[in-house]
Amino acid sequence: MASPVSVRGLRKAFGARTVLDDVDLEIAPGEFVALLGRSGCGKSTLLRILAGLDREITGQAVVSGTVSIAFQQPRLLPWRKVWRNIALGLHKPDGRAVALRALEEVRLPDHADAWPLTLSGGEAQRVSLARALVREPDVLLLDEPFGALDALTRLAMHHLVEDLWARHQPAVLLVTHDVDEALLLADRVLVLDEGRIVATHHVDLPRPRRRASVVEQRTRVLADLGVDVDTAA
């Protein structure tokens, strides 16, 4: 089957500044890929290009099928109830029923008629995931979706995302700063540095993974990010 994400020789510049420089990336159907890199290295720029939000590029960035994206901020419309936020743009006669099913999947079955501003950060992010999933995306782009959450909520979200991914099997590209998050969730971890993919780590550990099981690989990924664990400790 063709790769749902196929990037070849991608280059992106803002004025004189090159932000992505000759990026190649193939993501297989149902594959979970995490993208790590220092602040400003071009991660969100790559995601925005894949989402079709930025088309001024050189090279090739082809995404096949349906694409959904979720951001660090849930970006819910405050004047629409939760279920309407999820059903927005679906153009299905049974939009409410579809939204309710999605809310059950993200374990918020009782929040269909809530207003977004009454939700906690974690709940709002789960609504955002439900909104992304009702489109049954072939490609799910996640731009630091757990970055603004507290540590406990983040753990719960990891389980939820892994569960949803296993059930729906979209190809996933997750942008994160959290090395453990990347190693716990992804089949493959990429390190982006100054607009280039400088390292690739295949994570062959069985699922569900535990934090203890990723320790060894964490050291190697951190080294690619320029962090010496011994000195940092």
Which residues form the interface with ligand ATP (CB under 6 A)? Answer: 14, 19, 37, 39-45
Cβ pair 181, 158 in contact under 8 A: yes
In the complex, what is the shortest distance from the CB of residue 145 to ligand ATP, in angstroms, rounded to a whole number? 13
What Cα–Cα distance (Å) separates residue 126 from each residue in 11, 86, 123, 133, 189? 33, 11, 5, 10, 24
CB of 48 to ligand ATP, least distance (A): 8
DSSP result, 12-61: EEETTEEEEEEEEEEE-TT-EEEEEE-TTSSHHHHHHHHTTS----EEEE
CB of 36 to ligand ATP, least distance (A): 9
In degrees and rounded to multiples of 5, residue 221 shows phi and psi of -65, -40
- Residue 71 CB, nearest distance to ligand ATP (Å)? 11
Q: Show the 3-state SS of 119-173.
A: CCHHHHHHHHHHHHHCCCCCEEEEECCCCCCCHHHHHHHHHHHHHHHHHHCCEEE
Cis bond upstream, residue 208 (ω within 30): yes
48/218 Cα distance (integer angstroms): 27
As a whole number of angstroms, the distance between CA 15 and CA 49 comes to 16
The nearer residue to ligand ATP, 18 or 153, going by C-beta atoms, is: 18
The smaller minimum CB distance to ligand ATP, of residues 29 and 147, is found at: 147
